[in-house]
Amino acid sequence: MSEIKNPVLDAGQVAEQNAKVQANLQADYEALGGVLSRRGVDIDKLTALAATFAVALPSWAAGTGGTRFARFAGKGEPRGVFEKMEDCGVVHQLTRVTPAVSLHFPWDKTDDASALKEVANGYGLGFDAVNSNTFQDQVGQEHTYKYGSLSAQSGAARAQAVQHNIECIELGKKLGSKALTVWVGDGANFPGQNNLRGSLERYLDSMKDIYGALPDDWNVFIEHKLFEPAFYATVIADWGTSFAAAQQLGPKAKCLVDLGHHAPNTNIEMIVARLAQFGKLGGFHFNDSKYGDDDLDSGSINPFQLFLVFNELADAAERAKSDNSGFNPAYMLDQSHNVTDPIESLMSSAVEVQRAFIQAALVDRNALRAFQESNDVLQAAQTLKAAYRTDVSAILATARVRAGGAADPVAAYRASGYREKVTVARPPKAGASSSGIV
Amino acid sequence: MSEIKNPVLDAGQVAEQNAKVQANLQADYEALGGVLSRRGVDIDKLTALAATFAVALPSWAAGTGGTRFARFAGKGEPRGVFEKMEDCGVVHQLTRVTPAVSLHFPWDKTDDASALKEVANGYGLGFDAVNSNTFQDQVGQEHTYKYGSLSAQSGAARAQAVQHNIECIELGKKLGSKALTVWVGDGANFPGQNNLRGSLERYLDSMKDIYGALPDDWNVFIEHKLFEPAFYATVIADWGTSFAAAQQLGPKAKCLVDLGHHAPNTNIEMIVARLAQFGKLGGFHFNDSKYGDDDLDSGSINPFQLFLVFNELADAAERAKSDNSGFNPAYMLDQSHNVTDPIESLMSSAVEVQRAFIQAALVDRNALRAFQESNDVLQAAQTLKAAYRTDVSAILATARVRAGGAADPVAAYRASGYREKVTVARPPKAGASSSGIV
Amino acid sequence: MSEIKNPVLDAGQVAEQNAKVQANLQADYEALGGVLSRRGVDIDKLTALAATFAVALPSWAAGTGGTRFARFAGKGEPRGVFEKMEDCGVVHQLTRVTPAVSLHFPWDKTDDASALKEVANGYGLGFDAVNSNTFQDQVGQEHTYKYGSLSAQSGAARAQAVQHNIECIELGKKLGSKALTVWVGDGANFPGQNNLRGSLERYLDSMKDIYGALPDDWNVFIEHKLFEPAFYATVIADWGTSFAAAQQLGPKAKCLVDLGHHAPNTNIEMIVARLAQFGKLGGFHFNDSKYGDDDLDSGSINPFQLFLVFNELADAAERAKSDNSGFNPAYMLDQSHNVTDPIESLMSSAVEVQRAFIQAALVDRNALRAFQESNDVLQAAQTLKAAYRTDVSAILATARVRAGGAADPVAAYRASGYREKVTVARPPKAGASSSGIV
Amino acid sequence: MSEIKNPVLDAGQVAEQNAKVQANLQADYEALGGVLSRRGVDIDKLTALAATFAVALPSWAAGTGGTRFARFAGKGEPRGVFEKMEDCGVVHQLTRVTPAVSLHFPWDKTDDASALKEVANGYGLGFDAVNSNTFQDQVGQEHTYKYGSLSAQSGAARAQAVQHNIECIELGKKLGSKALTVWVGDGANFPGQNNLRGSLERYLDSMKDIYGALPDDWNVFIEHKLFEPAFYATVIADWGTSFAAAQQLGPKAKCLVDLGHHAPNTNIEMIVARLAQFGKLGGFHFNDSKYGDDDLDSGSINPFQLFLVFNELADAAERAKSDNSGFNPAYMLDQSHNVTDPIESLMSSAVEVQRAFIQAALVDRNALRAFQESNDVLQAAQTLKAAYRTDVSAILATARVRAGGAADPVAAYRASGYREKVTVARPPKAGASSSGIV
């Protein structure tokens, strides 16, 4: 059970909320336990497994996101990294599955890393991968990234971008992070704008300098994206390029899969299988999408796809176990909350990812293997479906309650009055951006 | 309970299979009943509702499908319309949700309609919409459809295609059908091949002649498809064209939505809502797909999308109830079974569609409406998810058993030895096509 | 020849630039004239036709665009509607194909419409369709559009949005506009957020009020868009919905086709043909795209598609001529210039659209018709290709020079030093947004 | 000039056809020569360059293709490999750019390779890469490929597929081929059908055996395809998998890019750049498409994309020249001719590919580089466009005439009466398949 020394919300109030639904939850849990036992599955083992799951929170998702057209600000938005940590603290206190936060620099830059670390630890939070930002120009920045950063024609812009990434590593070291995630928007809006190969060559040169600055126990995650902000050609556009780049750089370089960064119709779970097979699966940015990089809440559009991703992860984990090769990809949410309370979306999304993890654990892998080996296609497919169809809500709720969290995180959060409180405590900064930048 | 005078499989054997799983099913049903009652839902009402559901079978899907590259024939494939009815009889006997078959002419042409009807009725089967075929040339056919049928430049080809459709209506009348489904592959492979507007004008002219031959109580369903077999421009390519054409023709003309016939990323449930709003939703061809018109088993790739379609149908039905406008779209499976036993795929797909119907019935519409009205986006979304996540398998199985079907249709089918029997009884015809035509 | 009373750039300098390239242009023109005459085409007729072409400029495209991630401002950006008109004046002076500007309110709101009109007229510019903006909240606005505007649940938000559109009409009347373009971002990010049908019903109710405020000689253009800013369901998402809505509203309501607002793989030229056939083609927003609504320069990604659109327009115009039905769709650029000088992109894009217009005029329609009628597919396709492959650059340049414009607009613009001049004259406003809103 | 000892068509008749258009061609050529010289380009050098271009023909494309719905046979279709060579001989005689044919086994299997070679050589034809076929079951074949070939669960099916590939190499050796192209349809139609990683592991094992049988001077080309015939997951679905597989196998393994085998919106020219950069670009299957693997005529849908692919090839060739690394990818057409005379489509497609090659050669690479280095995005884009817009038809026609081919291949072919002749000489085989297999 994760201990939280300094909970953001009153623990007694959470317990009170839980008490209200406890009888029903218990009854649902027992009903599900019966169903599972008739299938030969022990519900308590699953609940224990659920308690081991963790997914990191992105600090920037605590604020309201937007689009290039508009951003409709929410109430009581965090105005700095400490307030972001507070909001993430709420998420973790109620869900108990988000024990780490991923910071984004310079947005989350702080002069007092140890104070930040202490505050975070009080909320039960550590620090996941740090993220660099060379897709925007910052006030006072010497060289523009308008025409690229790590791949820019301008050597000065490239050097500046490399230096920024190295500073991110330095900050991350102070906070206890173990990885740097690099996503660049570099690319072209017109055929001819860039020499396609030259751009990647410059990117690799820059990345070699960043790679060289990594501590021994760090990884660098390369995040690809099909398009946006570049609309004709993106330097790191697909997993093939990400994979080739990671190979060029060395063993500490791995590929990060963001669920929304692929071409239409792409089989994402197969990319997961491929990267796992070739030893380059670094981690995930979870979200969902229907059209492009929509950054919608995880599992809100295509929950079966999320399950299939975790089915591959379960397969990879089982293989790694059998050959002791180690398999420990990083999990993080990466969403844009444009019309919901970010805390509510983060809580329900974290639970949704955990749900897929538990559903995948329900797959009868021996039966599946046997059906595959005998080309019993229908039953192989049904084996996955049987696991996916199981409503494991009671398992997840029970795991939360047992860990000190909330049976119903959204209800508990609303009952706490937290949003109303911070709405008063955090008046918007004058001149706050109304842009859609997330 | 639907009565089957002449069941294909031994009813006693089905009952025997059911008996084996009855205790577990009963326990699962009670467990689910408890969960639902704690949400204020009466499980028996849902089970009764499930028993009202019906989806028609496509006669052609009883055979193994293929692609342009190959067809890998299955064993004991039906060699004519009577054997297809027999296979469909198995599907209906075990699932009790497929009481009608949709025929395709000239494939299913028969000289003795009354014999066919009698045999079908014995299996508990009636006849749904009849389908015309002007996307292939038949042996001995005078005019080719290589360059189009209802929209062809050749007036003779158009007249021949119109005449064929009228013959389909005549055959359908004898069988008790009440609708004609028209899908044409007409279109172009090259820019310039056809005058895009001229093609649709000719199509409409031809359809007016067919429309004129419809009995008073018949409908004609216009089925659109983005592409294939035409690869640059298809005459009836999207719902907008289908809708405009149905308007031009009159009230008996309605639009048919095949789940696999849309551009990537299309929001299909919104098309359902639009056609319902404007009074032109004729019916469905259910299947699933990931890339194009893949014709995969219903719900096998994106089950949440299937649920969202039924959520719109539930909304439309509720509206129709409140204003007595009538809402009764036709439901049919339309799948290509390339690697599974067609009977097994049809059974599990029919159940999958029924599952979505019941999950949609579980949506708390009053709560949903209230959340929508107050812009409580997260809870509105969760209201749908709560219904979708419910594993209603025990309801569907119980409804089947109560109606005389099988608790586990695939298991009962395998236990019956039916496929082995017809493998012997139906040796492949000499010179049977190995093409992928489905 | 369009007269410009008050040219922005020095006319003598433009003439000087033209003089430098005149000999080469003349030689290229004669060479092309010979090639065309050998095909039976009179080059001077084409040049005269080119001079009749016009496409409107969007006022907002005079500034640098961006994405949700960042906007990298350009130099000397216009800070108000008068400076935007000045930039548009440069575009028209050099290209002579952009004699009107489309304004966007409240961005371009002015208290002195007659002064604006006078200044614009001096540049040879009139006013095309006016655009309303209910996809952003403005400072001091009473009701938010966060959850929709014309389709919002909130009656107050709907009324406010209707009122804004009526004010746009009033402003447009003062300026001499004859149409209102309505694009709303209304939609949902989650399944369940909106009742899909209810949203469209409310939209139609609102639009009826706006429609009622249209002067007799005005049109309203309904602009559809597949997605963004709504990422699950957009109220006016496709041409089918746009078409149905235009039908519901009446004859003054027509559909506007933005080339970037469609699902992947959509055959846009066929949508043009359909809307023309059913009398609802209102006009165009020209741009190009590869992934989504990329808003790239017209013809920069898929120039053949732009040609095929104009091929349909030429077909529709020919039909309208033969039956005197009138066919006069509105043409406008709508692009986001993120990495180029907006004036340069507007000039080259306007020329690119004009190029497609002239290439389409080169299609031998009698030959095409004959090939189509005889199903000579290859030669029908080659007939289009022969027209498309013709490099009509010398025709376009000659038409410009004859009308008083520049042989090479970009070269003439660069030689004028205009950007350097306005960079000094237009220091950025303090606190100028760095958002990507375009 | 390529010599053809035994031309299929009467050479005098071709010359006669050329004579009819010679004056116009000469005039067009001179006009274009003037235009190019004013840009500093020597037309004769381009014409000489055009004469060096070659693209191989796929033997199977000499017949009419089809879809899973139907195949509408053409007249006088070749009934065996010798007749296919004859048709290919016509294509090469008239275009002079298709001096090699790519065979497909077992379709083109022959017992007398030396006779085939001699006949082909008489037509001026050699043999390009040989293709294996394990996506269909052949009559009398022991193990089915229904559930996969090189990746099948069945070891016997895998061994059979490996053996077939080795036989293809043996046949290719006799004919003078230097490469084997391996495309498999292996994959799954259902989630769960295959273990995604296990399938690729088995594929790689099989490929290692095939790789081991390659002669020293051979390559094996791995061809990826997003989907079809497998509709959920394809073993070699994208360039990333193809690339990883080629790396695992060794230096003789390279990747083949088929223009139609990618996800919607994919930037194919960037894949070309990536594979060239990492030394794994083996070659191309040229065709065009709008929706899926449409196999339409090269350049018929998106000619600018074809140009951009050749722009990358020109860049790669220039780089290889400067570092003497060698760059010699294999070019082949791979199209399905469903509604045109295959010979006409092959001729015009070969010319279309050659056109893109010459247009790419027209790009002013020094100017492009300079614009790229100075971030002059607009002029960089215009530099590509200026080359692409040039109508090089007269260059291609002149190159053909100078090499002994036809100024207008389609006109010459039609004048020859070849199709009419073979229609008589090649009555359809009894029981000929009407399937859409191509």
- Which residues 6+ apart lie within 8 Å of D341 measured at CB? C378, D74, D419
Q: Which chain A residues are within 8 Å of B375, Cβ to Cβ?
A: 339
CB contact under 8 A, B377 and A339: yes
The predicted model gives A367-385 an average pLDDT of: 98
* A415-421: Cβ within 8 A, 24+ apart: A415/A13, A415/A17, A416/A9, A416/A10, A416/A13, A416/A14, A416/A90, A418/A8, A418/A9, A418/A90, A418/A343, A419/A75, A419/A76, A419/A341, A419/A343, A420/A76, A421/A76
Give residue limits of the domains in chain A: 54-362
Alpha helices in D176-277 (DSSP H): 196-212, 239-249, 268-277
* Domain C54-362 superfamily per CATH: Divalent-metal-dependent TIM barrel enzymes (3.20.20.150)
Q: How far is A57 from chain C (nearest CA, A)?
A: 20
Q: What is the mean pLDDT of residues C403-415?
A: 98
Task: Taking residues B115-128, report their average pLDDT.
Answer: 98
Q: Is the pLDDT of residue C434 over 90?
A: no
Res B431 pLDDT > 60: no
Q: Residue D348 and residue C265: Cβ atoms within 8 Å?
A: no
DSSP state of A43: H
**In chain A, which residues have their Cβ closer than 8 Å to the Cβ of D383?**
192
Instruction: Dump pLDDT digits (tens) for B322-367.
Output: 888 889 999 999 999 999 999 999 999 999 999 999 999 999 999 9
A150-171 pLDDT tens trace: 999 999 999 999 999 999 999 9
Is the pLDDT reported for residue C181 higher than 80? Answer: yes
Full DSSP string of C227-278: SSS-SSEETT-SHHHHHHHHHHH-TTEEEEEETTSS-TT--HHHHHHHHHHT
For residues A333 and C429, the model is more confident at A333
| B194 contacts in chain C (CB < 8 Å) | 372
Residue scoring higher pLDDT (D180 or A325): D180
Separation of alpha carbons A44 and A41, rounded Å: 9
Identify the three-state secondary structure at position B408: coil
How far are the Cα atoms of A109, A232, C39 from residue A112, in angstroms, in the given order? 9, 41, 77
A33's CB contacts (< 8 A; 6+ apart) are: A43, A44
Question: Is the complex ipTM higher than 0.85?
Answer: yes
Alpha-carbon gap, residue A120 to A137, rounded angstroms: 28
DSSP C204-216: HHHHHHHHHTS-T
pLDDT surpassing 80 at residue A396: yes
Across the A:D interface, residue pairs with CB atoms under 8 Å apart total 162
Residues in chain A within 8 Å Cβ distance of D198: 372
- Helix H or strand E encompassing B425: helix B418-425
The mean pLDDT value for A31-45 works out to 98
- pLDDT, tens only, C359-404: 999 999 999 999 999 999 999 999 999 999 999 999 999 999 999 9
Q: Which amino acid is at B139?
A: V
DSSP code string of D172-199: HHHHT--EEEE----EESSTTSS-HHHH
Query: In this complex, is the C-beta atom of C31 within 8 Å of any C-beta atom belonging to chain D?
Result: yes
Q: B158 CA to chain C: closest CA distance, Å?
A: 14
Count of C-D CB contacts under 8 Å? 81
8 A C-beta contact, residue A390 and residue A91 = no
| Record: contact B136-D66, CB cut-off 8 A | no
Q: Say whether the peptide bond before residue A191 is cis (omega within 30 degrees of 0).
A: no
Rounded Cα gap, residues B269 and C237, in angstroms? 12
Give the mean pLDDT of chain B: 96
User: Measured between CB atoms, does C23 come within 8 Å of chain D?
Assistant: no
- How far lies A109's CA from each of A239, B159, B259, C427, in Å? 30, 75, 49, 30
> Do residues A333 and A351 make contact, with C-beta atoms less than 8 angstroms apart?
no
**Which pLDDT score is estimated for C322?**
87
Contact B234, B225 (CB under 8 A): yes
Closest by CA to D110, choosing from D65, D28, D20, D175, is: D175
Q: What is the DSSP letter of C138?
A: P
Q: For chain D, give me the number of helices (H) and strands (E)?
A: 15, 11
Contacts of A167 (CB under 8 A, 6+ apart): A105
Residue D313 belongs to what H/E stretch?
A: helix D303-323
A233 interface with D at CB cutoff 8 Å: yes
Look at C70 and A291 and tell me if their CB atoms are within 8 Å: no
- pLDDT of C433 > 60? The answer is no
| Residue D324 in this model has a pLDDT that exceeds 60 | yes
Taking only the tens place, the pLDDT of each residue in A105-120 is 999 999 999 999 999 9
Share of chain B above pLDDT 90, in %: 96
pLDDT in tens, D259-318: 999 999 999 999 999 999 999 999 999 999 999 999 999 999 999 999 999 999 999 999
What's the pLDDT score for residue C324? 82
Q: How far apart are CA B356 and CA B46, in angstroms?
A: 12
- pLDDT at position C1 is 44
Residues, chain A, total? 438
A45 interfaces chain B, CB cutoff of 8 Å: no
Peptide bond connecting D229 to the previous residue in cis, omega within 30 degrees of 0: yes
Residues of D with Cβ-Cβ distance to B229 under 8 angstroms: 66-67, 69-70, 338
Rg, C-alpha atoms of chain C? 22
D232: chain A residues, CB-CB within 8 Å: 267
Q: Nearest Cα to D438, choosing from D110, D88, D72?
A: D72
Chains that touch B (3 or more CB pairs under 8 A): A, C, D
Measured CA to CA in angstroms, residue C424 lies from C414, C417, C419, C420, C421 at distances of: 16, 11, 9, 7, 6
pLDDT of residue B1: 44
Would you say residue C172 has pLDDT above 60? yes
Contact A55, A126 (CB under 8 A): no
* Among candidates A265, A301, A340 on the partner chain, residue whose Cβ is nearest the Cβ of B264: A265
Residue D329 has pLDDT above 70, yes or no: yes
Measured distance CA(D28)–CA(C36) in Å, rounded: 9
pLDDT score of C167? 98
Question: Out of C289, C433, C438, whose CB is closest to A231?
Answer: C289
Do residue C341 and residue D378 have CB atoms under 8 angstroms apart? yes
Chain B residue nearest residue A394, CA to CA: B35
Interface contact A360, partner D, CB < 8 A? no
Asked if pLDDT for residue B436 goes beyond 50, the answer is: no
Average pLDDT, chain A: 96
- The phi-psi region of residue C35 (left if phi > 0; otherwise alpha if psi is between -120 and 50; otherwise beta) is alpha
Closest partner residue to A340 (CB to CB) among B265, B302, B378 is: B378
Looking at the complex, does the CB of residue A386 fall below 8 Å from at least one CB of chain C?
Answer: no
Query: Would you say residue D2 has pLDDT above 90?
Result: no
Q: What is the DSSP letter of B62?
A: G
**pLDDT: which is higher, C259 or B437:** C259
Residue from C255, C267, C258 nearest C305 by CA: C267
Whole-structure pTM value = 0.98
Q: Is the CB of B371 inside 8 Å of chain C's CB atoms?
A: yes
pLDDT band at A190, cuts 50/70/90? very high
Question: Distance between CA atoms of D194 and D147, rounded to whole angstroms?
Answer: 9
The pLDDT confidence band at residue A344, using thresholds 50, 70 and 90, is very high
- Phi (first) and psi of residue D133, to 5 degrees: -135, 105
Q: Do C237 and B270 touch (CB under 8 A)?
A: yes
- Asked if D82 and D103 count as a contact pair (C-beta separation under 8 A), the reply is no
Q: Is the pLDDT of residue A398 over 60?
A: yes
B/e letters for B257-291, b = 16+ CB within 10 Å, e = fewer, are bbbbbbbbbbbbbbbbbbbbbbebbbbbbbbbbbb
R_g of chain A, CA atoms, integer Å: 22
* CA separation for the pair D197, D235 (Å, rounded): 9
Predicted confidence at residue C2, as pLDDT, reads 54
Report the pLDDT averaged over residues D33-50.
98
Task: Give mean pLDDT, residues C57-64.
Answer: 97
Quick one: pLDDT band at residue C323, thresholds 50, 70, 90?
confident
**Tally of CB atoms within 10 A around B108:** 22
The residue written with tokens 């590509």 in the block is D384
Closest to A337 in 3D by CA, of A325, A327, A352, A347: A347
**Does A69 reach chain C within 8 Å, measured CB to CB?**
yes
| Count of other CB atoms within 10 angstroms of residue D251 | 10
* Cα–Cα dist D57/D59, whole Å: 6
| pLDDT of A432 higher than 60 | no
Chain C residues 314-343 with a CB less than 8 Å from chain A = 338-340
> Is A241 close to D274, i.e. CB distance below 8 A?
yes
Written as six digits, the tokens of A377 are 């296609």
Q: Which of B158, B228, B241, B378 to mutate to test the interface with C (most CBs of C within 10 A)?
A: B241
Contact yes or no for C67 and A66 at CB 8 A: no
In chain B, residues 264-283 whose CB comes closer than 8 Å to chain C: 264-267, 269-271, 273-274, 276-278
For residue A143, give the DSSP letter. S
Residues of chain B found within 8 Å of residue C240, distances taken between Cβ atoms = 238-241, 243, 271, 274
How high is the pLDDT of residue C326?
A: 83
3-class SS of residue A233:
strand
Q: Where are the beta strands (DSSP E) in C287-387?
A: 330-333
Q: What does the DSSP 8-state code read for residue A137?
A: P
Name the residue among D193, D229, D289 with its Cβ closest to that of B69: D229
Among the residues of B111-257, which ranges form H helices? 113-122, 155-175, 196-212, 239-249
Give CA A414 to chain center in angstroms: 24
Rounded to the nearest integer, the mean pLDDT of chain D is 96
Per the DSSP assignment, residues forming a β-bridge with A102 are A58
